[in-house]
Structure 1
Amino acid sequence: MRGELLKIYKVLLDFYGHQNWWPAETRYEVVVGAILTQNTSWKNVEKAINNLKNENLLEEEKILNIDEDKLKELIKPAGFYNLKAKRLKNTTKFIVDNYGSTEGMAKTDKDTLTLRKELLSINGVGKETADSILLYALDRESFVVDAYTKRMFSRLGIINEKAKYDEIKEIFEKSLPKDLEIYKEYHALIVEHCKKFCRKKPLCEKCPISH
């Protein structure tokens, strides 16, 4: 399994090149993006993040202090804005109350498992969101599993399509070297590949993995 997953990684990297994810200027911007991207496309998230940037609001204290109705209006392009405004405030409050800032959280000497449990205790933060924050905002080796991962690797026969999130995560983490850059790149490459070839209706004839 280890050899197989690494081989696929190398094929994808050769084909697409480095993706350099997550597109963000600060650690906190990654946190905001991870919450806003729930159940929507990244294009919509970018619109919402640009709204926040235009108002100079992409800082923890500013998000905590902004009127919730105004926040809803600004993040509206990302959809589910009533829910996401609450989740954004909840998550930000947790970070500020416990670590002062996302930078402070990144510098903690707590282990990754402890941080993951803390993030999952926040209302509205599920496993994919928690792992995205750990990997891309806090630079922790915590593999992110999304719908694309399930689709692609069940089609390749590597995972069972009914496998649970943590089972899939464990397969990747046991099979790959514990390398932050590989974790980041692999997840980004999977997303790119599923947009190009491993779509709902797959384009298998030109797929670089099947050749």
Structure 2
Amino acid sequence: MLGAILTQNTAWTNVERALDQLRARIPLRPEPVLGLAEPVLAELIRPSGYYNVKARRLRCFCAALIEAGGEAALAAMPTEPLRHWLLAINGIGPETADDILLYAFERPVFVVDAYTRRLFRRLGMIDGDEGYERIRQQVEGAIGPDTACFNEYHALIVRHAKEVCRARTPACERCLLSRSCRQRGGE
């Protein structure tokens, strides 16, 4: 769950470095995170970027998690109330909340990120100005409540967008979806 907050606006490799630094200092649990002074926490997570903001967000999340009764208490909540609970925490938006729901709590929600938007826009599945909730609900409605499928689908989208359907230099010649791409490499 901490990784979902740290990955906001940064690459996962930088998040891994931040988590490694944090893990070398403390167990990755709410109480030890809150036991660190905010400047110390910020320095430990520096590789994730926006480290001062993210240190505050991590502390807010950890405090809320403890107040709610811990991870087990949250795991017992139905998905929609849990999503609303996550969204009420400072610094957690829809993408981060859904990331936590899908990967930490194994709930059937689809994560809409920049990779999803890029691929869906290029394939003509969206215009590009649709809101997060609209895209999420369309995908969830088309697939149905299948956690494993959402996990795999999102992972495949991320991989394809990083390796082939890149933002600046798409490798259209290697793309299995190029016949469906309405922009063939353009944005």
Offset of residue 203 of structure 1: 1.4
State the match for 2:59 in structure 1.
Answer: 89
Q: Distance in 1 between matches of 2:56 and 2:27?
A: 16
Q: Decide whether the 8 Å contact of 2:17 with 2:47 is kept in 1.
A: yes
Identical pairs, percent: 47
Cα distance per residue 1:129-182 (max 9 Å; x no partner): 000011111111111000010000111011121111001001100011311111
**Over 6 Å off, 4+ runs:** none
Question: Could you state the TM-score of these two structures normalised by the residue count of structure 1?
Answer: 0.81
Q: Distance in 1 between matches of 2:36 and 2:108?
A: 33
Report the aligned-residue RMSD: 1.2
Offset of residue 104 of structure 1: 3.2
Q: Distance in 1 between matches of 2:37 and 2:164?
A: 43
Q: Distance in 1 between matches of 2:151 and 2:66?
A: 25
Offset of residue 102 of structure 1: 2.1
Q: Distance in 2 between matches of 1:104 and 1:130?
A: 16
Gaps of 5+ in 2: 180-187
Q: 5 Å matches for 1:20-59?
A: 31-59=1-29
Task: State yes or no: 1:129 paired with 2:99.
Answer: no
Q: 1:168 aligns with which of 135, 141, 155?
A: 135
State the match for 2:175 in structure 1.
Answer: 207
Q: Distance in 2 between matches of 1:156 and 1:65?
A: 47
Q: Distance in 1 between matches of 2:74 and 2:87?
A: 15
State the match for 2:157 in structure 1.
Answer: 190
Q: 5 Å matches for 1:79-118?
A: 79-99=49-69, 101-106=70-75, 108=76, 110-118=77-85
